[in-house]
Structure 1
C-alpha cells in the first residue's frame, strides 16, 4: 500500500479518500463520495471503530459535513487502525461490499 502524505488526500478508492491532518497521522479527514452520495443522500454518517478488523473497539458514528466535493468528517485516531463504513439517514449502508475501509498508521 502506498504511503499517504500528510495534509494531502489519498487516491480515491471506491469513493473514499483519507487526508492525514497532522504529521503523525493521529487526526484524519475522511472524504466520502461513494454510493450513498451518488444516490443523493441528504445526510451521511460515518460508522467507525478502532483496532483489528474483526473486533472493532470504541465503536461510534459521526455525522459527516456536506461539502462541494462529497461528505467529510475528521476523526482522532485512538489506535493505529481505523475501520469505517457509511450509512445514510434512511439506514442504507455502504460498507465496501462487506470489507469496510481501513486506515492504518505504520
Structure 2
C-alpha cells in the first residue's frame, strides 16, 4: 500500500511520508530545497517536537536521486513535528523563519483487563 505524501511544503521542496505521522511511527522527510539547489553536498534535518521544539536532534540526510532523505522516529508524545535544514557550511533553510511544521497524530492506548491486548484509538 502506498502512503500519501504531504503537500504542505511542496512549493518549498519539503515533503514527509506519511503525510500525518503518528507517535511511535517512523516518518520519512524528503528535502530538495534551496540548500541542495545551491550545491550542498551534505544536509542535516534539525528536528524538534511541539511548540517549544522539545527533544531537538540533528539527523544526517542521505543523498538520493530525489534530493536528501532521512527517516526518523516520532517518539515524543506531541502534536507537532518541526524541522529545518542546514548544510555542512552551516547555511540554514528555515522556511524564511517559519520553519517547517507538520501535525502528528496522538494515539491513546487502552489495555484489556487481562493486559494482553492493546487497542489503539
Q: Same fold (TM over 0.5)?
A: yes
CA RMSD of aligned residues (A): 2.1
Q: Which runs of 5+ in 2 are unaligned?
A: 106-121
Q: Deviations over 1:36-89 (max 9, x none)?
A: 01111010000010111xx11101100000000000011111222111100000
- Please report the TM-score for the alignment, with normalisation by the length of structure 2: 0.74
Tell which deviates more after alignment, 19-28 or 74-83: 19-28
CA distance in 1, matches of 2:97, 2:63: 24
Q: Which runs of 5+ in 1 are unaligned?
A: 1-5
Of residues 60, 63, 77 in structure 2, which corresponds to 1:63? Answer: 60
Please tell me whether the aligned partners of residues 20 and 103 of structure 2 are also in contact (alpha carbons under 8 angstroms): no
- Please report the TM-score for the alignment, with normalisation by the length of structure 1: 0.83
* Offset of residue 9 of structure 1: 2.0
Alignment of 1:30-69 (within 5 A): 30-52=29-51, 55-69=52-66
Runs ≥4 residues deviating over 6 A: none
Is the radius of gyration larger for structure 1 or structure 2? 2
Of residues 72, 75, 82 in structure 1, which corresponds to 2:72? Answer: 75
* Offset of residue 20 of structure 1: 1.4
Aligned residue pairs total 99
